[in-house]
Amino acid sequence: MPSEKTKMLAGESYDPTDPTLVEERQRARERTRGFNDTAPADADARRAILDDLLGATGENVTVEPPFRCDYGYNISVGDDFFANYDCVFLDVCAIEFGDECMLGPGVHVYTASHPLDPVERTSGTEFGEPVTVGDRVWIGGRSVLNPGVSVGDDAVVASGAVVTEDVPDGVVVGGNPAEVIREV
């Protein structure tokens, strides 16, 4: 029988109270607390923590504290990545950012989801769907990327947008739910 972690990573229904998963979330909280408590000029300490916490980090990665995530190891960021203050990544499944991505303050990326059926939902199980962001994407402040979405290369997500469906390459989306506003 597969472990709860294996089921989680595969996007299947899993029990988040599994001791291994609880321990791994605790580890991520300890790492993000250390990251968030670093001195503003201590770029080396911040980079070391990110390299330890995240699954993959490219060159020239900047994340402004505070930052929160569930596990960290499911997050990959490419070269020249920038995330402003107060970003939250719920990474029960993979979150992948391409190169040259910029995130405004308070961007939230969710892979975690819950069953719609109320009996299943109150049982405590959950599942996830990965989120993928292409190259040269700008995600405006207070935007939300929901489970399972992909954002194409060269796209712009306007501030405050709630992305519920895939975003094509080279467009600007905005609103709730986000819709294409124009081409870049």
* 108 is known as an active-site residue: no
The confidence band for 147, taking pLDDT boundaries of 50, 70 and 90, is: very high
Give yes or no for a contact between 93 and 130, defined as CB atoms under 8 angstroms apart.
Answer: yes
The single residue of 88, 114, 115, 164 carrying the catalytic annotation is 114
Cα torsion 103, 108, 113, 116: sign: negative
The confidence band for 35, taking pLDDT boundaries of 50, 70 and 90, is: very high
Task: Kindly report, residue by residue over 17-33, the tens digit of the pLDDT.
Answer: 999 999 999 999 999 99
Task: Kindly report, residue by residue over 47-57, the tens digit of the pLDDT.
Answer: 999 999 999 99
CATH value at residue 82 = 2.160.10.10
pTM of the model: 0.97
In angstroms, the CA 65 to CA 85 distance is 5
Q: Which of 141, 114, 108 is nearest to 129 (CA)?
A: 114
**What does the pLDDT read at residue 81?**
98
Domain of 23, in residue numbers: 4-183
The confidence band for 89, taking pLDDT boundaries of 50, 70 and 90, is: very high
If one counts the domains in the chain, the total is: 1
